[in-house]
Amino acid sequence: MKRIVLYLIFSVIMRLILKIFTGTKLINKENLQYKGPCIIVGNHNSHLDTISILANLPLDQLVKTHPIAAGDYFGKSPFKAWLTRFFVNAVLIPRSRPKEGETGPDPIQMMVDVLEKGESLILFPEGSRGEPEIFQKFKRGVGLVLEKCPDVPYIPVYMKGLGKILPKGDSIPVPFDSYMHVGKPVFPIEETADEIVVEVEKHIRSLMEKEVQE
């Protein structure tokens, strides 16, 4: 049932809507077709970022790919949490790890558990949506996850224009040229979380620089 729902929402409806209203130019789409668990990681300016990635995944990957979402925002009520999990296939996590002596779910371990099941994640290291085409500081989460899962690759994605089509705080999209550059899957070279975060950001920025050159 969920497979059918995700297919209809993203592979049919959202793909058509995006084609009509955003016309996003997708560069190197084939790099999304990775067989096995991975982390699709990109810059973040709009809710369209997640939708654009999901709408371009093959069905077999779509049903096994989970966007990471803030539990305090997308899970404010049990009904909203159910909607997010069922219709977006998201994993709702707390924004921070439990402090020493505290109990509660560990967001890093929650993401690791998904990868160890053979499924994939969509993760935006900047956290919240920022200003269009302006990078915010990358948080350590992606580094901590890849540090625990060095045999899992990440796929860098750079998106341009989506934040201007539907910026943070707006609900009505406006026409604007947009692009999504997909890099090749990369196994982390660095070993520590902080070094891995720098490595990931470097790959995303290299896609941005390539787009500027083109």
Residue 158 pLDDT: 94
Residue 211 has pLDDT above 90, yes or no: no
**Helices within 75-140 (DSSP H only):** 78-88, 107-116
Q: What is the pLDDT of residues 101-158, one digit of tens each?
A: 667 788 999 999 999 999 999 999 987 666 667 788 899 999 999 999 999 999 999 9
Q: Strand pairing partners for 91?
A: 68
User: 162 with 117: CB under 8 angstroms?
Assistant: no
Stretch 32-48: mean pLDDT, rounded? 89
Query: What are the domain boundaries of the chain?
Result: 2-213
Residue 105 CB coordination number (10 Å): 13
Residue 171 has pLDDT above 90, yes or no: no
Q: Which CATH code fits 2-213?
A: 3.40.1130
- Taking Cα atoms as reference points, which of 68, 41, 10, 54 lies closest to residue 201? 41
